[in-house]
Amino acid sequence: MKNKAPIYFLLFAIIVFFLGMFFGMIASFQYLLPEFLKEYLPFSKLRPFHVTSVISWIVLCATGSIYFFLTYVEKFKLFSPLLVKLHFIIFLLTGIAIYFSFAFDYTEGREYFAFKPILIVPILIGWILFGINYFKTLYKNVKGWPVYYWMWGTGIVFISYHLMEAHFWLLDFFRLNFIKDFAVQWKSTGSFTGSWNMLVYGISIYLMSKIKKDSDVARNKAAFFFYFLGLTNLMFGWAHHTYLLPTQPWIRYVAYAISMTEWIVLASIIYSWKRSVLKVEKENHPMAYRFLLATDFWIFLNIILALLFSIPAINFFTHGTHITVAHSMGTTIGINTTILFSALFFILHQLYPDFETDRKWVKRGFVSFNISLFFFWISLLIAGGKRSYWMYVSKSGLFSEMQDSLILYYISFFIFGIGIFVSLLIVAFPIFKAFFHKIKT
Amino acid sequence: MSTNSKLYLFVIAFLIAIFAFYNYLVYSSNGYVAVEKLSPMAVKGQQLFQNNRCWSCHQLYGLGGYLGPDLTNVYSDEDKGPLYFKAFLNSGVKSMPKFNFSEEEKDVLVEYMKQVDETGIYPNYDAEIEATGWVKLKYQNEE
């Protein structure tokens, strides 16, 4: 393997993932003991570390996986191997700069992008380099793209756009009009999530077609129909995040209408439940297969939740509660992370075909990860339900009293959060070791 | 390039054209309630709010963190108000760290809260839930 940059991306992603989870665990402990480390590492400092690290895990792992698939599995000659290296170096140095920015309180930015706004420039340059390399490579090599190539291309373009849009607040045209500014801020973050989902869901279809050895999975009409449906939701479906913001009603009408199209996705999942797409060739990819099965389960749970709170009458009661957190944790961990771990195991098999991935401890880690995530998710749902009751039904008592009444669920959230961390550490350890070995040889 | 690819490219181009027009409308659309633009003092308050990552724990319109209370209408809340808000800033209650804001900094934060308060209501207890699943919001200063 001449170009090891994809593996560097993947190692970088795994490191920031565990750092991000570690920051998240300390932060969640402050729900139990509010005074813990608060003068040195207050929650407000830990949260940006946690959020930016885990988002970076998703985009870095997706990026590394796509580079790997193109170069190692598809054996395409990249338009420029140098650009991949440059891309990695830019992201690595920017990542370090972001951590410094957080550590020393240069946090002029906003939620999800709290770092010094100037740092968005190298991030954008990195995405542009990725885009150039991606489109130039594929244009030359592939005729009649399967759906995952469209999805990855779309993801790269829309991530670049929404990263820019997330910084429109720097312009007075947006900033001085609070409601417009706030709406655009949440538009950008909602669509940014939709954009990285394009990369990650594209990876899941790629894996399915490779594990099953059936390219039709990625070329049939249904695959393209769902791609365009996802793209439409990415573009216009963001406003369910801001139903309760006094924007012009038409923005919310559009979001309501578009969000409801996801019922088609749910119907399709239920329809195809019995004829699982992965019945053959799983013996070569036992862990990649298991993680994709877990993805199926988590998509099912989270899409029901998302569909319910996309109905304004339900959103009215769930908005601003931990039910929203359950959804974001459920999707980023349950869906994005399981797909990415499936990709990591698939890649491991490509690098070391004889490597036994379904070792006893790895399988145990996989099971305890899913159990921990389930209870973690349920704890958040119950906490959110109780908060909603306090807000809209009882309407009595102080905020701090409501928080104190949730302590049991916060304890459960914390304990199962540790469960997720330890389980994934067990699962990821052999992958990390093998990747590390690869870059040394 | 196959025929299908041309069709897909056409669909993407069509969606992007609608998206561009949609963005134009969203970007040029003001809030539903006509309020004054943020004053220079409120903008300073907003920047302080960001610099100190207040959004990590607090929400505006239910968006933000979950460790502290929502601040959308803290300014006009009969039980809270600007003095209550100011008193919290440097006291370090529970998980909230002790900030060392100067009087001037507290004033700009209060000004920001005042102008946010004027834009709307959250939680919106007088909203009407309709049979279609739609929620008709009650707007600030609406009778």
A298: containing domain:
280-441
Shortest distance, CA A173 to any CA of chain B (angstroms) = 9
Whether A110 is in a domain gets the answer: no
Q: B35, B118 in Cβ contact below 8 A?
A: yes
Q: How confident is the model at residue B143 (pLDDT cuts 50, 70, 90)?
A: low
How many whole angstroms from its chain centre is CA B110? Answer: 15
Q: For residue B102, what pLDDT is reported?
A: 95
Strand runs (DSSP E) across chain B, as ranges? 59-60, 63-64, 128-129, 135-136
Does the predicted interface ipTM exceed a cut of 0.90? yes
To which residue do tokens 């999707």 refer? Answer: A331
Contact status of B11 with chain A (Cβ, < 8 Å): yes
Whether A411 is in a domain gets the answer: yes
Q: A14, A432 in Cβ contact below 8 A?
A: yes
Chain-chain contact of A251 with B8 (C-beta, under 8 angstroms): no
Whether A296 is in a domain gets the answer: yes
- For range A13-28, the mean pLDDT: 97
SS3 annotation, A313-327:
HHHHHHCCCHHHHHH
Range in A136-145, B1-10, B125-134 with the lowest mean pLDDT: B1-10
Whether A35 is in a domain gets the answer: no
Whether A431 is in a domain gets the answer: yes
- pTM for the full predicted model: 0.94
Q: Locate the chain A residue with the closest alpha carbon to B2.
A: A144
Chain-chain contact of A231 with B12 (C-beta, under 8 angstroms): yes
CA distance A326 to A377: 5
Checking DSSP bridges between strand B63-64 and strand B59-60, what pairing results, if any? antiparallel
Per-residue pLDDT tens over the stretch A272-295 = 655 555 555 566 788 998 999 899
Q: A233, A258 in Cβ contact below 8 A?
A: yes
Neighbour tally for B99: CB within 10 Å: 18
Binding-face residues of B in 101-140 toward A, CB within 8 A = 115-116, 119-120, 122-125, 127, 129-130, 133-135, 137, 139-140
Report CA-CA distances (Å) from A149 to A119, A205, B12, B44.
29, 10, 14, 45
Q: A175, B38 in Cβ contact below 8 A?
A: yes
- For range B108-115, the mean pLDDT: 97
Q: Is pLDDT at B98 greater than 80 in this prediction?
A: yes
Whether A387 is in a domain gets the answer: yes
The residue ranking higher by pLDDT, A21 or A246, is A21
Per-residue pLDDT tens over the stretch B20-47 = 999 999 999 887 777 789 999 999 999 9
CA distance B121 to A186: 18
Q: For residue A278, what pLDDT is reported?
A: 53
Best mutation site among A26, A245, A382, A393 for testing chain B: the one with the most B CBs within 10 Å? A245
Number of domain units in chain A: 1
A110 beta partners: A113
Q: Is pLDDT at A342 greater than 90 in this prediction?
A: yes
Least CB–CB distance from B97: residue in A42, A175, A395: A42
CA distance A360 to A395: 51
Q: How confident is the model at residue A35 (pLDDT cuts 50, 70, 90)?
A: confident
- Cβ neighbours of A244 in B, within 8 Å: 61-62, 122-124, 135, 137
CA distance A12 to A9: 5
Does the CA dihedral A40-A43-A45-A46 come out positive or negative?
positive
What domains, with CATH codes, occur in chain B? 31-143 (1.10.760.10)
- Cβ neighbours of B140 in A, within 8 Å: 246
Q: Is pLDDT at B1 greater than 50 in this prediction?
A: no
Smallest Cα–Cα separation from A325: which of A379, A362, A250?
A379
Q: For residue A265, what pLDDT is reported?
A: 80
Whether A153 is in a domain gets the answer: no
Whether A130 is in a domain gets the answer: no
